[in-house]
Structure 1
Amino acid sequence: SLSVPIFNGGELAAAVDVARAQRDQSDAAFRLAVLTALQDVEDQLVGLRQERLRLSALSRAAAASTEAARLSRALYVSGGASFLDVLDAERSQYSAEDSVIQSRIALATRFIALNKALGGGWLRPVDVAHPAMDDRDTGPRLRLPRAQDIAARRRQSAQH
């Protein structure tokens, strides 16, 4: 027995059109997801760069404030400045140092956001009792994984 779809040809053509429309919709959704992810990574890279520049400027300002406080104390000891001048210089120094600390926190937060935007995650619990900082003036840097780290990840994913 031979079955030929004579009277449902329009139905088949409509089904093909629906399938094509669904494919196009999925393609558009995928492209949007990729573009959104790329935009997120770019935004985080720009933010990280800006925060590094800000931290550098704040570090220079903090060093200058520290020197000003030192000079103010020396002037006070020699009788050339009042104690109020010393207190004002130290207040400026502490404010500048606080700004540096806040910028380091913002830099670490930006770095984490970039790692997240790149699809990263934690492989093991983070030991917050012993924080590691690559460079105390510029904050964390993106590191390429070492060969042993890659091998450990592969072994871990093979076990799951």
Structure 2
Amino acid sequence: MSLTRSDLEARRLQQIILQSGRGVNVLSEAQLQESLSATLKHQKPDSDVWLFAYGSLLWNPIFNFVEQRVGTIHGWHRRFCLWVPQGRGTPDNPGLVLGLDRGGSCRGIAYRIAATDVSLELPLLWRREMVVGCYIPHWVSVFDGTQKLEAIAFVINRRHRAYVGNI
């Protein structure tokens, strides 16, 4: 399944996961909003938000942004560390997807979401990335070669049951 914006708007990802019958804990809209509010707690109201992408958000962002910059973060690296029973795998034979795990560095894209779009775009991103709680939204410093940007990145939740340690 290739996710679309309309899938997220209609909450189809949540429905697919719930219908799988695998007992996966899907976060409610209230839980997603609570997480988003906590993440933006120290963000100035009516300001743009940067988002750091390192995986599927690179090739299928499906959110509106006004600028993108190549950048590097330190203290995190891309790693196949998350079991998934859908998409790249099946319930009986889960696949692995990338997550940002501790240590090293990672090159990716920082997307700037305009202040006027933050209230529409970030909830969609939370429905996509935070749906089962396998990631944690975390503020990171992205270096684009000339300046430092503060951006949200979705890093792996090492306490989640789908997290894969060293394999």
TM-score normalized with structure 2 length:
0.22
More helix per residue: 1
TM-score normalized with structure 1 length:
0.23
Structure with bigger gyration radius: 1
